[in-house]
């Protein structure tokens, strides 16, 4: 898998399919010193200047450890597959590779594992131990069980509580149940964080198979799908396309990176331009 991250000069950078500005200053205040010729006037410390009656400038150092949070959707809709692997498995593979990439760049790694009835939060931390802790959580999450079912919007609200300004967030989901409140939370996250959405989908969700009767099961119940009518297949495909286009328009509106991945793709050969 090739993870391509382009870093042109500030104030923004190209990220994925859409333009995503670099959220946060990316700089940490270090000290104040007397103004020197050539200093950026935007960095003048007006408080110190007023107190000492001499111009002073703020000095910053580059923040090298960027917090990275990878939110992975394990809700019931992700436990689905007709070809390739389960959507949840593909999401976990992508999350693992993104975590390795972040660790390799010496960034702090954390995330959120989401399900319909619980969650696990891992605050971004530096080091190999934090990476391994996140990878272990992908395989064996330690759920904090909720008292009532959690929607995608509920999980995004919780994510906002732990994502500090300047955090780079990858949200990996099928975005089922994406309602107005989910969109509002996405908007709020994008205001202060660098957000990337990765949609995982099964090929059957995009197109019904050719004519025939097909039975699907969750291990307990069965459902029969008939795809003989071409109009039915067209309407089915259009619903998925409308959902995807809505997400893409949302990303353009809030300058969020976007990419979609199906369950048949080999993660090691996927090129994520994030």
2 in any annotated domain: no
Dmax (CA) for the chain in angstroms is: 83
Same domain, 42 and 120: no
How many distinct structural domains can be found in the chain? 2
pLDDT of residue 64: 58
pLDDT tens-digit readout, 64-102: 568 999 999 999 999 999 989 999 999 999 999 999 999
pLDDT of residue 42: 87
184 in any annotated domain: yes
Same domain, 119 and 221: yes
15 in any annotated domain: no
Q: Which of the listed residues 41, 62, 83 is the one where a domain comes to its end?
A: 62
Same domain, 44 and 134: no
Same domain, 57 and 73: no
Same domain, 111 and 246: yes
Same domain, 32 and 150: no
- Mean pLDDT lowest among 23-37, 105-119, 241-255: 23-37
pLDDT of residue 17: 45
- Cα(237)–Cα(261) distance, integer angstroms: 17
pLDDT tens-digit readout, 159-194: 999 998 889 999 999 999 999 999 999 999 999 999
Q: Range of 87's domain?
A: 67-272
User: If pLDDT is split at 50, 70 and 90, which confidence band does 21 have?
Assistant: very low
- Cα(57)–Cα(176) distance, integer angstroms: 50
Check whether 18 has a pLDDT greater than 90: no
191 in any annotated domain: yes
H helix count then E strand count, the chain? 7, 15
Residue 88's CATH number: 3.40.50.410
Q: What is the mean pLDDT of the chain?
A: 86
Percentage, residues of the chain above pLDDT 70: 87
Same domain, 74 and 34: no
User: If pLDDT is split at 50, 70 and 90, which confidence band does 20 have?
Assistant: very low
Same domain, 57 and 82: no
Same domain, 52 and 137: no
Same domain, 77 and 35: no
- Give, in order, the Cα–Cα distances in Å from 267 to each of 52, 78, 92: 58, 17, 10
pLDDT of residue 229: 81
User: If pLDDT is split at 50, 70 and 90, which confidence band does 10 have?
Assistant: very low
pLDDT tens-digit readout, 214-267: 777 777 788 787 777 888 889 989 999 999 999 999 999 999 999 999 999 988
pLDDT of residue 217: 76
User: If pLDDT is split at 50, 70 and 90, which confidence band does 126 have?
Assistant: very high
201 in any annotated domain: yes
Check whether 37 has a pLDDT greater than 50: yes
11 in any annotated domain: no
Strands (E), the chain: 2-3, 12-15, 18-21, 27-34, 56-62, 67-73, 108-114, 118-125, 144-145, 168-173, 194-201, 213-217, 222-226, 257-262, 271-272
100 in any annotated domain: yes
Same domain, 95 and 31: no
More confident residue, 232 or 11: 232
Contact 109, 68 (CB under 8 A): yes
Average pLDDT (11-34) is: 54
Q: Which two tokens stand for residue 253?
A: 């509106």
Beta bridge partners of 173: 199
- Cα(43)–Cα(46) distance, integer angstroms: 9
82 in any annotated domain: yes
Same domain, 56 and 123: no
Q: Which two tokens stand for residue 59?
A: 């000095």
pTM score: 0.76
Check whether 26 has a pLDDT greater than 60: no
């Amino acid at each position: 898998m090739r993870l391509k991250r382009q870093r042109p000069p500030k104030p923004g950078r190209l990220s994925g399919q859409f333009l995503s500005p670099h959220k946060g200053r990316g700089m940490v205040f270090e000290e104040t010193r007397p103004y020197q010729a050539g200093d950026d006037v935007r960095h003048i410390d007006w408080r110190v200047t007023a107190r000492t009656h001499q111009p002073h400038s703020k000095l910053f150092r580059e923040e090298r450890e960027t917090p990275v949070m990878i939110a992975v959707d394990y809700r019931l809709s992700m436990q689905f597959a007709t070809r390739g692997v389960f959507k949840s498995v593909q999401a976990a593979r992508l999350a693992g590779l993104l975590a390795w990439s972040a660790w390799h760049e010496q960034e702090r790694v954390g995330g959120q594992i989401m399900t319909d009835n619980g969650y696990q939060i891992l605050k971004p931390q530096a080091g190999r131990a934090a990476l391994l802790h996140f990878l272990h959580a992908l395989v064996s999450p330690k759920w904090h069980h909720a008292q009532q079912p959690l929607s995608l919007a509920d999980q995004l609200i919780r994510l906002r509580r732990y994502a500090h300004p300047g955090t780079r967030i990858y949200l990996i989901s099928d975005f089922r149940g994406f309602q107005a409140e989910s969109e509002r939370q996405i908007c709020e996250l994008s205001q202060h964080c660098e957000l990337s959405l990765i949609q995982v989908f099964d090929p059957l969700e995009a197109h019904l198979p050719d004519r025939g009767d097909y039975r699907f099961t969750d291990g307990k119940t069965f459902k029969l799908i008939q795809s003989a009518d071409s109009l039915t297949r067209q309407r089915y495909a259009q619903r998925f396309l409308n959902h995807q286009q809505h997400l893409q328009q949302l990303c353009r509106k809030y300058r969020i990176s976007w990419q979609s991945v199906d369950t048949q793709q080999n993660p090691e050969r996927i090129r994520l331009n994030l």
